[in-house]
Amino acid sequence: MLSACTEKPKAIEPTQTPVQIKTTEQNREDFIREFSGVWASVNNTITINYDNNQMLVMYGDERLDLSLGDVDMTNETLNLLTKENKIITLRKEWNSDRTQYKLSFTSPNGKSETLGFIRKITSDDRNRIYAMNSAQAQSALAEAEAELST
């Protein structure tokens, strides 16, 4: 005679498959690339290029020495870190019908500036970014922070 099992089955713990992990990583990469472009600030242009897992940023004609920090896809922000581990935050600011966005650029001292989109990154922009040296990067970062603090 068969008897009914009274023990409830254990819940199966959800895990991500390799395909889901790859999809999540690809979504993150795509999200970061959405920040790439040439953007207008009040005083200058800011060029952002995410390529080969590197975030390259230009302030005007000078390359900033920044690395990619935390990425928050839920709140649509990403952090850029200076060598001193100061945090610059970029955040998407959407229009009312979510068809276009600007970037909010918040410096380590808390000053924010809205950046308007000019164009996508071109090969001319990439060549200019890669041509800049590190000494120019430190000078440009100090200049950018000084302008944002005024």
pLDDT in tens, 21-80: 555 677 899 999 999 999 999 889 999 998 878 888 888 888 888 999 999 999 999 999
User: DSSP letter at 77?
Assistant: E
The whole-number pLDDT of residue 145 equals 65
Query: Under a CB-based contact definition with an 8 Å cutoff, are residues 129 and 56 in contact?
Result: yes
Counting Cβ atoms within 10 Å, is residue 14 exposed (0-12), middle (13-18) or buried (19+)?
Answer: exposed
Among 129, 147, 146, smallest CA distance to 36 is for 129
pLDDT at 118 over 70: yes
Determine the Cα–Cα distance for residues 123 and 20; give it in Å rounded to an integer. 33
> How many CB atoms lie under 10 A from the CB of residue 6?
5
Residue type at 42 in one-letter notation: V
Determine the Cα–Cα distance for residues 8 and 5; give it in Å rounded to an integer. 8
N residues, the chain: 150
The whole-number pLDDT of residue 22 equals 53
Residue type at 23 in one-letter notation: T
Residue that the structure tokens 């390799």 belong to = 18
Is the entire prediction scored with pTM above 0.85?
no
